[in-house]
Every structure is written in structure tokens, then in C-alpha cells.
Amino acid sequence: MTTGFYARLREIREDDEALAACIDRVVKQLEDTSTSGDRPGMLLGKIQSGKTRAFVGVIARAFDRGFDIAVVFTKGTKTLSAQTVARLAHDLREFIDEDEVLVFDIMQPPGKLTKSEQRRKLVIVAKKQAKNLERIIHFFDADYPDLKGRRVLIVDDEADLASIRFVRKKDQPDIEQGKIAEQMDALRRLVVKVAFLQVTATPYSLYLQPDNYEVPPDEGYVFKPKKPAFTELLPIHSGYVGGDDYFLAPVEDDPRSFLIVEVPRDEQDALRKEDQRRIRGERVLDSPNTTGLVRAIMTFVLAACLRRWQQGEAGEKKRKYAMVIHNDTQKAAHAWQDQVIEWVFDAATAAATNSPQKLRPIFDAAFADLSASIEADKGRTPKSEQAFDMFIEALQGGDVVRETVNSDHAVMALLDERAELKLRTPFNIFVGGSILDRGITIPNLIAFYYGRNPRTMQADTVLQHSRMYGNRDRRDLAVTRFYTSRDVYDRLYTINEFENTLRSAFESGAHEQGVVFIQADAANRVRPCAPNKVLLSNVVAVRPTGMYLPTGFKTRTGRELAAAERELHPLIPIGARDKQKFVEVDRGTALHIIAIIEKTMEFSDGEFEWDAMRGLLDYYSDVRDGGDGRVLMLAETGRKLSREKSGDKSGLSILGGGVTIRSLVLDPLRSKAALILLQQEGTTGQGWSGHRFWWPILAAPGTVEPCVFATKVAAD
């Protein structure tokens, strides 16, 4: 009979070998490494990848190893705190019922703990909020001082939020740690035998901080930095859908190639503030400022219909589905968006009831879109007329519900018994802001309309908005869509690359030396820089064999392209053209080629970081760092990629070229940077200007450490 806490929990939850091994490694490292001092341990997962499941397992395994109390810190919202308590109570139900474990929120204790309750294993949940922290400290220091001598595991969920924060006081030059973080330090000083585990998917503020802090004299406390002492990667389970599915450009016959739908930025701007000159109720279904939103909502309704039809055909339980519209954080904007959505449904319902054929063009476009991705997934669809009838019935039936979610109160009212957003009908639309970010689980999310576009987009914040990630049914992926603008997509792609670059550094063991952070100064010289100097809105992350290339551009006039061709012709070696092999050129020639090509392209949303391309080429070939001042070059002509399909920032589909070229570029043993030049035919039929042009791709060596290049860094 299995008697250990984790052995029993694993049996109940059916944890696989990879997760069980990860949990065991974390607890062993917590025991072997001094994590109660300045450097706690880190459990690094991906967004919505099962981090809560993992740390609940860590708590159970720690109880097996002699720990008595677990304190779990959550994001400072009632919603996430309630979700955490509910999840702990659900997973540990057997132990709670057997009076072996007691789980409670520090602000809602079960009353004065009896002696027998104090002898149980305790799991205490607290928000990262000042009053909660005060209550925790009082719990150990005044209410139950005997517990200070017990072995305590602190689990800091969403560890980068509030745990690391620096505040500059007004009229004072010194920076001090934020109050919540200081209170967490006070707790760590209070408890004698403590281990500390941070859990997050966005660790940038934890890794991008100084190794040492100067403690100001005459301070009343000792500052404790929290840079991780060890990092354990949470395995990615087979059901996980994440950034690589959305941003690593699968081949055309893959259903994931349909996930991204571009929305004009003007439309998303029109939804930020009420302006009936731009959006009017009587024209809402055919207004240019609601085209993407109408498409998103109507396609969502049809997608849910099709999946439920598929489930019925397979004899499966029909499921309910969700859509999220996250365009702003402001409540006034949510009210306007809710009004526009109400207009959309009023118009669609009226048409469905009185004149269904008016909706035929909207349906036909949605059905063609979804049928193509379902076919790529080798799935089945009903006949068009049957699907149209289901679509009209859904709109007539009043089962499409929408909820505005922009406060803790609103969210709490919508949660089910596991503190997840409750799906009331087959079609659920949630409109909201940042309250829908960290930790909020939205089941069966198949449509996400995302328009957040601040001037400075923080990687950790944006990743936490990605509620479409998680344990998703892969069959749902065929009808899932992510609606956003081109510039937001580009930023999200960069952030996903940054996340992958950091993770690959840990997977390869390169984290022992660290990810290389480099920057270009005013003279465009490239040099290593301190990671805490990097501004995340201006980074280029490149993994070994990773590619960096311009996308989303238009070509200039025929005269300019012809002039560029004349300049480039003598610079591109004959031996590199259409030979499917690399030749070496000196760095100066490669930089000259890039400079010429730069003048042939123009960008509507932001500029491509040409300085980063030059800087990376410089860095990889620099003789001072072991390079020989030379790079590899390969040129291919006669390419016929359409402009419509030119947005692949990974470069894989643009590279094309069959097995030979891909194997050359993606060779992990390639020790030099490679500049790949692809001459496109550029015909008007392909969406270009009607003139040939050269498209450059820089491929990092396969033998280097992951690199983060900063085109801008924080001032000293």
C-alpha cells in the first residue's frame, strides 16, 4: 500500500513519469541547496502549462521529506487566491478528509487552531498584498510562535509579480525594495527552517537583476536578493498548446497555419473610445471599423457549432466554448466594446430571425475559413446548408452570452467550484482587461481578439495575457483563431522567441555561463552588457541556428530596386548563387549587402531592426571573440513567395528550398553566421510591386550560446 503523500497524490491524479521526476528533483534541490537565504529555487514553466499541478505535487513530496507547513503566495487578487485555495483543496481532498492536511486562506482561517490541527500538515494561502503579509507574519510571530521552529516551504506563485520590485522614494536618490517584497523578506527572517521556491512562466525580472545589492547604512532591515539558486524546468506535457503553435509558422497543410488572423490597427483603435462617427449601430455588420470583430464573433459561433456537431457524430459529450475580447484595461473602453458587441448581436439576431440570407456572406467566409483548417486537421464538417442552419439556430436561440469582466467582484461571480470561469452556454464571450491575465483559467477557449498595444510592451505582462495557451484539445485547435494587428503580432513573436531563448539556455546547460546579452552603442559597436540593462521592448532573441529577417514590408520603386540590383550583382559571389552550398565572404561585404538591401524595403508598422542584424553579424564574426571576420553566404534566385505569406518571422517557410538548404542553415554544427539571400520574382500577381528584390536572412551559428541583442538599453 502506498502511504507517502506524493505517492498517493500521484496515484489519484495519474501524474506521468516526467512530472513525477521533475517534482522529485525540485524537492531534492530544495533540501540540498541553501534556498532559505538570498537565492531561492525556481520552477520555470510555460504559460498555462500545469505549474499549479506541479507545485501542489512539490508540496506533497516536501511533506514526505519532513516539511510541516507550506505557505503559498499568489497574485494579489481575490480571484487567483480563491482559485489557488480551490485547486489545493481539490487535489489534497483525500488528505483533508483524513485530517492529515489543513488548507486555508490566511484571511479566512478556520478559527483558533486546535493542538491537533497544529500537528497536521498546514497549507496556507496568502495574496501578495500588504495586509495578507502582515497577517502571515502575525500568524507565526504572535498567534502560533511554536510553529516558527517547524520546517516551512514558501511557494511564491507568479514569483516575478511583486516579489521583485524597486521603489524610488520621492526626493530621495536611493532605491529601496517594495513593501510587499520587504514583508516577504521579514517572513523569511522570522521562520528558522525555511525553503523557498519561486514558480513562474515569466522570470525576466528574476534573472535580469544584479547579483549583489549594496545595503544602505543605517537601514532597519537586511535586503535579501532573490536571484534563483537553481532552476528546474517544468516538462511540457503532450496536451500543451503554446507560443510555438501560434508563432513558429507551421507548414501550410497544418491547421496551426490558420491560427493568426490579422486585424487592422485602425479597427482596434476605434474600439478604445466611443465614437459613433466611426462605429454606428445601424451599420455595425458592414462597417470597416468592425470587420475583424464581426468576423471574430461570427466565426466563433460557427466554430463552436462545428465542434459540437463533430462531438455529436463521434458520440462524445458536447462541450461549451469560450471567446475572450481583450482590447483595453479601461472600464470605459469595456463599456464601449460591450455596446458594439450588443449592436453586433442585435443586428445578427434580427437578421437570423427575419432574413437569414442577409448573413450568408458572413457565414460563407467563416465556413470556408474553418473548413480549410479542419480539412488540414483531417477532420469532418457537415454540409454547408446544415452548418448554416446550425449557425442561424445558435443566433436565434439566445444562447450566445457575453460577460464584461473587469473587477474582482465581476470575476468571483463567474467562477465555478474550481474557481475557473464558468461556461454557462455553448457560446460564452468574455470582454475584459488585465483581470483576465495571470492564473485565470478559461476552459475551451477557441477565439481571442487581442488589441492591447502600449508604447512599451513588457514581455512578462503580455505573456500572462496569453489565456489561449494551456492544456487544450488539439482537435479544438483546428477551429481556434487569434485576432490581432500586425505590429502586436510582431511583438508577441519577439517575446515568444525571448522566452524560448531563455528556456533553451537552461535545456542545453548554457545557463551555467548565462545567456549572452549584448548591445550596440552610439557608434554601433557591439559589446556584452548587463542583463538588467536590457529594455525588453527593444530586444532581439536568437537561439543557435535561429534566423533573423525582415517581414511585413513593401518594396520600393522599380528604379530603386534596379539600382540596388546593379550594386549587389558584383558583391554576391557567383559560387554562392543557386549552388545550394555556402561560400565564405568577409564581414565587410556582408554588411555592405545588408546596407544596400535596407534601402529597398519600407515598413508600415515600425521599422525592422537593421542595426540588430548588423550587430549580430558583427558579434558572431568578431575576431576578438574567436571569429575570423568572415561569414557564410548562400544565394537563391527565382523565388515566388506571395506577399500575403511573407509574415513568417521564424523564416522557416520563407527559407523553403527543400531539404538541402534547410539542413545547411539548421545544422547545429555550423560554427559561423550565415547570410542567406533569396531573390524574389516580386510580381504584382504575388502582391509585390512587380520587380525582383533580394530578401536577407541572418542565421546564427549552431555552436553558440543563446543571445539577446538589445538595440536600446537603460541609461546608467
Q: For the segment 160-170, what is each residue's pLDDT rounded down to a tens digit?
A: 543 444 444 45
Q: Is the pTM of this model over 0.95?
A: no
Q: What is residue 56's predicted lDDT score, i.e. its pLDDT?
A: 96
User: CA 81 to CA 501: how far, in whole Å?
Assistant: 31
Q: Provide the pLDDT confidence category of residue 55 given band limits of 50, 70 and 90.
A: very high
What are the phi and psi torsion angles at 704 (to 5°)? -105, 165
- Helix ranges (H only) for 111-256 are 115-119, 130-138, 179-190, 204-207, 243-247
The arithmetic mean of pLDDT across residues 572-576, rounded, is 93
Residue whose cell numbers read 483558533: 112
Cell triple for 634: 548562400
pLDDT at residue 511 greater than cutoff 80: no
Asked if the model's pLDDT at residue 409 lies above 60, the reply is no
The CATH class given to the 5-233 domain equals alpha beta
C-alpha 677/C-alpha 618 separation (Å) is 18
389 has a pLDDT exceeding 60: yes
Give the tens place of pLDDT for each residue, 474-490: 899 999 999 988 877 87
pLDDT at 538: 57
* Alpha-carbon gap, residue 211 to 227, rounded angstroms: 7
pLDDT digits (tens, 9 = 90+) for 183-240: 777 887 888 788 889 888 766 555 544 444 444 444 433 333 345 678 888 998 878 8
Average pLDDT over residues 461-468: 62
For 26, the enclosing helix (H) or strand (E) is helix 17-32
For residue range 334-362, what is the model confidence (pLDDT) as tens digits? 788 888 888 888 889 999 999 999 999 99
Reported as type and span, the H/E element at residue 635 is strand 630-639
pLDDT class of 431 with cuts at 50, 70, 90: confident
Domain with CATH 3.40.50.300 in the chain: 5-233
For 93-99, the CB contacts below 8 A with 24+ separation are 94/8, 94/12, 95/5, 95/8, 95/121
Q: Which three cell numbers stand for residue 304?
A: 463552436
Tell me the per-residue pLDDT of 655-714, one tens digit each, with 9 for 90 and over: 876 678 888 999 999 999 999 999 999 999 999 999 999 999 999 998 877 777 666 554
Please state, in angstroms and rounded to a whole number, the distance separating the CA atoms of residues 303 and 483. 14
Mean pLDDT of the chain: 81
Query: CA–CA separation, 319 vs 311, rounded Å?
Result: 8
Query: What is the DSSP secondary structure assignment for residue 211, as one 8-state letter?
Result: S
Q: What is the mean pLDDT of residues 264-291?
A: 83
